[in-house]
Structure 1
Amino acid sequence: MLNSVTILNFDGAYNQQTFYQKHPHQTVDFESIRNANLLCDRENLTMMYETLQKRRCSGVHYLGSGNYHYLSFLLQYNISKPYTLILFDHHTDTIPSPSENLISCGSWVLNSLDHFSMLHKVIMIGVGEDAKEHIPPSIQHKVILYTKNSLPDNTQTLLNEIETDSVYISIDKDVLNRKEAITDWDQGSMSLQTLLEILKEIIQQKEILGADVCGEYPVNPTNEYDLETQAAIEINNDTNRIIFENIKRWENYKSRNLVHYSRNKILQKHS
Structure 2
Amino acid sequence: MAENKTINKEQNRTENNEIVIMNFSGIYKEQQFYRNHAEMQEDISWLEVQDLPGSNCYCDEEAKNRILDDIKNYTGNGIHFIDSGNYHYVSRLWLSKMEHPFRLLVFDNHTDMQLPAFGGLLSCGGWIAASLEEVPMLQEVILVGPDEEAYTQVEPEFQQKVQFLSREKLLAMTGEEKNTFFRNLRADLPMYISVDKDVLCTADASTTWSQGDMSLEKLQKFLEIVLQQQQILGMDICGECDPDACERNLLNDRANQKLLELWKKYFPQIRERRQDI
Report the TM-score when normalising by structure 1. Answer: 0.85
State whether structure 2 residue 147 is matched by structure 1 residue 128: yes
Counterpart Cα distance in 2 of 1:164 and 1:97: 33
Contact 2:104 2:141 in 1 (8 A): yes
Contact 1:131 1:145 in 2 (8 A): no
Deviation at 1:55, TM superposition (A): 5.1
Pairs within 5 Å for 1:1-271 = 3-21=17-35, 22=37, 23=40, 24-54=43-73, 59-151=78-170, 153-162=177-186, 164-220=188-244, 223=245, 229=246, 231-253=247-269
Report the TM-score when normalising by structure 2. Answer: 0.83
Contact 1:28 1:55 in 2 (8 A): no
Q: Could you say if the C-alpha distance between residues 202 and 10 of structure 1 is closer, same or farther in structure 2, counting changes exceeding 3 Å?
A: same
> Residue 59 of structure 2 aligns to a residue in which SS?
strand
Counterpart Cα distance in 2 of 1:218 and 1:34: 17
Q: 181-190 or 55-64: which moved more? A: 55-64
Q: Could you say if the C-alpha distance between residues 10 and 255 of structure 1 is closer, same or farther in structure 2, counting changes exceeding 3 Å?
A: closer
1:68-107, Cα deviation, whole Å (9 max, x unpaired): 0000000000211111100000001000012332010001
Contiguous gaps of at least 5 residues in structure 1? 224-228, 263-271
Contact 2:76 2:97 in 1 (8 A): no
Structure 1 segments of 4 or more deviating over 4 A?
A: 1-4, 55-58, 253-256
Counterpart Cα distance in 2 of 1:80 and 1:216: 29
How many pairs were matched up?
251
Deviation at 1:155, TM superposition (A): 2.7
- Which protein has the larger Cα radius of gyration, Structure 1 or Structure 2? 1
Deviation at 1:4, TM superposition (A): 4.7
Contiguous gaps of at least 5 residues in structure 2? 1-14
Amino acid at match of 2:98: I
Aligned-residue Cα RMSD (Å) equals: 2.3
Q: Could you say if the C-alpha distance between residues 3 and 241 of structure 1 is closer, same or farther in structure 2, counting changes exceeding 3 Å?
A: farther
Counterpart Cα distance in 1 of 2:185 and 2:18: 29
Deviation at 1:53, TM superposition (A): 0.9
Counterpart Cα distance in 1 of 2:159 and 2:74: 35
